[in-house]
Structure 1
C-alpha cells in the first residue's frame, strides 16, 4: 500500500467514526455478562450481515466470526474483539448508561466490538484490494475463565490463520497514544482458595481453641516469602491474598477461615512450581499449630506473549499513521487476557489504544463503576486495524 492508499484508509475510518460511536453506545446501553451475550452476538451478526461480502458464522452460542476473502490469494489475518460486560452497577449518568441492572461495560469491550465492526465495514468494501483473508473474531466471555477464546479456538476459528492481532482500550494510557509491548505483555491470572480449619471457642479462653485466624494470618504472611525468598528476583511473580473471611462476633474464635487470591506470572516453568510451593507453606504452618487445611489452585489463562515480527509491524503502523509521538513502548503488566489462546495457534500481537483523558475527567480505572473511555480513541483503533491489515496482507 502506498501513501495515497494509507491516506484513503484513514479518511474512510474518519468517515464512519460517528457510526462507530453509535455502535459503542448501543452496546454500552445493553451489556451482557460472560457466556450470556446472546443479544450482543445477534446485533453484531446482523450488523455484519448488512455490510455484504462477508461469510458469517456462529462458532459458539454467543460468538460471531466473519470471513472476508480477498480477490487474490495470500495470508490469513485474524483480528479479535471481546464483547462481554461485568457484574457492576454503573454510576455514570450518560444518556447511554447501562439499562441492565448490575451489569456494565466497565472494561472497554463495547469499544473493542465497535472498532472491529468499523474495520469490517470498511474492509468489506475493499475486497478487490485484499490479498488473502481477514477473519473478524467477535469473542464472548473474556472476563471469566476458562474464557471464550479457548472455546472459539476449539471450534476451529484459527484453522489456517497465519497471524492474529487484537487491541485493548487502555484508560491508564492517555488518548492519542498507542502502547506496544515486545515479548511478555500480560500475565497468567491463576486463582487459589484456602481454608484453614482449627477449633473454635471462647475468645477469653484461647488455650482451649486452635485459633484459625492466628494460623491463617501466618499463612498469609509466609506466602509472601514465595515471591521474596523462593523466586529469582529477576523473575516476575505476584502472589496476592485478596479475600480473608472468618468469624462472626468479637468474643468467639472461629473454627475456620477462608481465603482466596491470585498468582500472576509470565514464565510457564515458574508458574508450574507455585502450587506445590504454596501447599508446602500452608501444610507446614497448619500442622505446626494442630490445624488442617484445604487448598485449591486453578490455572487461568496463559500469559500474553507477543511475537516479535508481528509486534514490529504494529509498531511500524503506529509510527507511519500517527507519528513517533504517538508510540509508547510500554512495560508488561500483570493483568490477564485470554487473547493468549489465539496466540497458541498463530503468531500474534496485542496492543493498547490510549483511552484516558484527564482534561475530560476520564480517569477512572478499568472495572470501576464510573469507568468510561475517550470515544475519540475509537477512530484510532479503527485506523490501526485498517492500516495493519494492509501491512500484513502484502
Structure 2
C-alpha cells in the first residue's frame, strides 16, 4: 500500500506553501484530508486565511443532480460565503469572483480523468478569470483515480467546445487536475502554482493510494464507476439509460427495446478486460424512469487491459445494428450540436453510426498521455 499526501494535506501542514491574504477555496465533498477532515476546516485551523468558498456543478455539498448546483449563500460548517460558479464563465464569472473580494483562488476537487466531467472546466474557467482579474491561482493536486498511464479517445474539435469540454484533450486524458491546469494556463498566463500530490505514481490504482473514496458526484459512487465512465458516460447522448436512478450508474446500460442478443453479442466480441451480464433494471429517475428495461452490466475483470472508450463504441454499434429503428440520439428539443457531439468532441461518432458503420477506428490506439500533451508538463513519474 502506498500512502499519498494530497495537496490539501500538504498545505494544511505547511500554510507557507501558499500566498494570499483573502483566499477563496473551490471545493466540494471530495476536498477532504486522508482522515476525512473537511479541507476548508483543516485549512482554517492551520491559519490559511479562507474568506470565501466556491461551488461547482452538483454544489459545494454535492447534493444536486447533473446539470444543477446548490444555491446556498453561507456554508453552515464554516460560516463562509458560498459563490456558485456553475454555468458561469466570461464576464459573469469575473463579476462573481470580483464580488467575493479574494486575491487568490485555490482548487481542491477530485477529478475522475474524463474530458466531459465538468470539474476540470470549472477550474479552466476560473483560471481564465484569475488571469483577467490579476489574481493568483493554485491547485491542490490529487491522483487521477483511473490512473495516469493511458489516454484514450480523440482530441476535442474546438468547434464543439462547451461546458463538457473546453480544450483539445482526449476523452480519457490521463492527467491530474494540476497537470491540466499547467497545460491550459499556457493560454491564459495566470499566476499559477500546483501543490503536488506526494507519493503518487501514474501507474498507481486508486485502491493503492491509501486515500478514502469520496463520491465526486451523486452518480459516481465507486472507483469502478469512474473506471467505466469515460466510455459509458457517452450513453448520456443516446436514448439508452446509462443507469442513472440505480445503484450502479454507468455500469448498467439498457433500454426497453434491447433483448438477449445484446449481452451475447457483446461477449462474443471478446473486448479486453470486461464481460457483460444480461440484466434487467428499473431506473427510479431520469431516462425510462419506472420502466423495467433490459440491458447489461459491465464487469471489469482486468483494469490494465480494459478500454472504456473502445468498449462503449462497440456497445453503441451493436445496439444500433440490432435495433436500427429504436436506437436514437438524445433529443433535448434544441438545435444542433447534438449532446453526443459535445460529449464525443465532434460529430464523427454520430455520423458514423447513422451511416451504419463501425466507429471503432474513430478511437485512436490508446497511448501514454505524453503522446498528446504537445509539450505539456507531467508532474508525476
Give yes or no for TM over 0.5. no
Higher helix proportion? 1
Which TM-score applies when normalising by structure 2? 0.28
The structure with the larger Rg is 1
Structure with the bigger RCO (C-alpha within 8 Å, sep 6+) is 1
